[in-house]
Chain A
Amino acid sequence: MPKDVAVIGVGQSAFVRGYQGSIRELAFEAFREAMQDAAISVKDVGASVVCSAPEYDKQRTPSGLIAEYLGLNPQPTFIVENVCSSSTSGIRVAYGLIKSGLHDVVVVLGFQKMSEISSADSQERMGRGADIMFESPFGTLMPAYYAMHARGHFAKYGTTEEDLALIRVKAASYGVLNEKAVYRKAVTLEQAMEAGPVCSPLKVFDCCANADGASCVIMASADKAKEICKEPVYILGLGAATAPMNVTGRTTFAGLDCAKLAADEAYEMAGVGPQDIDVAEVHDCFTIAEMMAYEMLGFAEPGKGPELIRNRETYKDGKIPVNVDGGLLSKGHPIGATGGSQVRTIVLQLRNKAGAIQVPGAEIGLVHNIGGVGIYGNVIIFGR
């Protein structure tokens, strides 16, 4: 079990609709919190990795601007983009920078101000998040792709719309407790089932909300972490994989191969298995995404994911608590910031500082962050 790289600070802005500030100010909110958490100064930082999906940015090459505003000149900075999984890809880059010995301390800053562009522009970009030659001309969109996976899961395993609704009910029950979540209302099973259709079989409450937000994860070498941090949380394993962007190249619509491959790699590196995970943050941009994550991560056998949620095993007091911070469904999903927010939740859990959502005695946590509809998969396992 390697313990070469640690997280020494985490921060997150509130995730909101229509942030009343600029992207640099949004980024600073998360950065300030993480720097205060790590109790370090900018002189201690060796490099920054800025994570954003630039199609939402008016600012070209935002890493330069963000690094300047964070006070991180003249250190090197890099932009990392893997759409919704940008910030966990940024963490993978930072891990390499630290493990190689190039830098001791690296700041990973994820942000997205989705309201930076108009709703029409956003809708236009959404249609191009697929193969623009052979998929976009049919008017495809993100919910449609996840809906086709829901249909695939239903057809193969007999999963129902109610199974998916139960996932939303769980997420919302925790979103109520999360002061940084954009959606803080409870959702009943009836409300979820009676909500209007988006892309069948997905309905309004099966979909997460767009939001503006920023996250910050500060990472350090183990030696440095021991020197300056009282409660380092170590990266025990990390895995990453890809699958064809054009879904006609996929092997299945009942799961995401990239997530399975990334999980297998992360478990092997960490020397642990799914049964060892005490708390998990999974990429629930849609309810079906969480259902598939249960199975791709090995929390349930393929096809048995619905039983986990029917039996409430993914609630805080269940066998494997998942997304007890409200998940993307309730927190909101500011693309470039999402992975870092998931990591923050797990780090707080492993420090036993997660407040009302604390899973008692959590020692090993997992983050599953997906880019696009299973184009990019990142899984990271953390431990004390």
Chain B
Amino acid sequence: MGFERFGSKSFTSQAKVAEFVDYLDKGEVAYTKCRTCSQAYFPPRADCANCLGNDMEWVAIKGNGTIVTFTHTMYAPTGFEAEAPYTIVVAEFGDIKVLGRMNKSVPVESLSVGMAVKVEVVKLPDGQVTYEFLPA
């Protein structure tokens, strides 16, 4: 249990990587890294596809990333309609890429591929927790 608190609407409750939500509660967006072969994973994984091990450590994302791509969507799937329009971004932080939304106050016209961003935890009023990007 625990993963159901991720995002404004989660589709999963049980996951071995539910600790991801505990890190969000602490204000950190974290990924996993295999202690055996050093492979880094975002989204975080409980199992290493590289060496088949499962001895993972959690590492918080630090510093700035860069925008790899983005889109501003006018439409939303069921359950997210009230949130549209919003901007979805993929950003690169060293070895890993992270998908999330841009902070709503940032106009899409100000974004470009390669632009520096940071990632911050967002605590939603209903107790859910997520993260978003902001210009660095």
Contact = CB atoms under 8 A, between A and B. Distances in A.
A200 B70 CA distance: 8
A140 B9 CA distance: 12
Contacts of B114: 155
A139 interface: yes
A123 interface: yes
A151 B112 CA distance: 9
Interface size class of A (residues with CB under 8 A): 35 or more
Contacts of B15: 133
B71 A148 contact: yes
A131 B44 CA distance: 12
Interface stretch (A99-107, A181-189, A246-254): A246-254
A141 B68 contact: no
A248 B86 contact: no
Contacts of B110: none
A124 interface: yes
B73 A199 contact: yes
A98 interface: no
B74 interface: yes
A141 B6 CA distance: 18
A151 B8 contact: no
A124 B11 CA distance: 11
Nearest to B101: A138
Contact of B75 (A143, A148, A149, A152): A143
A150 B108 CA distance: 15
A188 to B, nearest CB: 23
B98 A248 contact: yes
Contact of A140 (B10, B79, B88): B88
A379 B57 CA distance: 40
A149 B90 CA distance: 11
Nearest to A254: B69
A151 B70 contact: yes
A155 B113 contact: yes
Contacts of B3: 133
Nearest to A127: B77
A152 B79 contact: no
Given A144-B73, A148-B90, A137 B98 contact: no
Contacts, number: 122
Most buried by A among B9, B71, B83, B86: B71
Interface string A196-208: 1111111000000
Most buried by B among A133, A141, A198: A133
Nearest to A135: B99
Nearest to A119: B78
Contact of A149 (B69, B74, B83, B100): B69
B99 A141 contact: no
Interface string B54-93: 0000000000000011111111111110011010101000
A144 B76 CA distance: 10
Interface string A111-131: 000000000110110111001
Given A135-B99, A151-B71, A246-B99, A120 B88 contact: no
A208 B114 CA distance: 30
Contacts of B100: 138
Nearest to B77: A127
Nearest to A150: B71
Contacts of B112: 155
Given A123-B77, A138-B100, A141-B77, A248 B69 contact: no
Nearest to A149: B69
A137 B90 contact: no
A126 B74 CA distance: 15
Contacts of A155: 69, 112-114
Contacts of A147: 71, 73
B35 to A, nearest CB: 21
B12 A248 contact: no
A247 B90 contact: yes
A133 B41 CA distance: 14
Given A123-B78, A139-B84, A248-B97, 11 more contacts: A120-B78, A126-B77, A127-B78, A127-B79, A136-B7, A140-B88, A151-B113, A196-B74, A199-B73, A248-B99, A253-B90
16 contacts: A121-B78, A123-B78, A124-B79, A128-B11, A128-B77, A132-B11, A136-B9, A139-B77, A139-B80, A140-B88, A155-B114, A200-B71, A247-B90, A248-B43, A248-B90, A248-B98
Interface of B: 3, 6-12, 15, 42-43, 68-80, 83-84, 86, 88, 90, 96-101, 108, 112-114, 130
6 closest Cβ contacts across the A-B interface? A137-B7, A127-B77, A139-B80, A155-B113, A147-B71, A124-B78
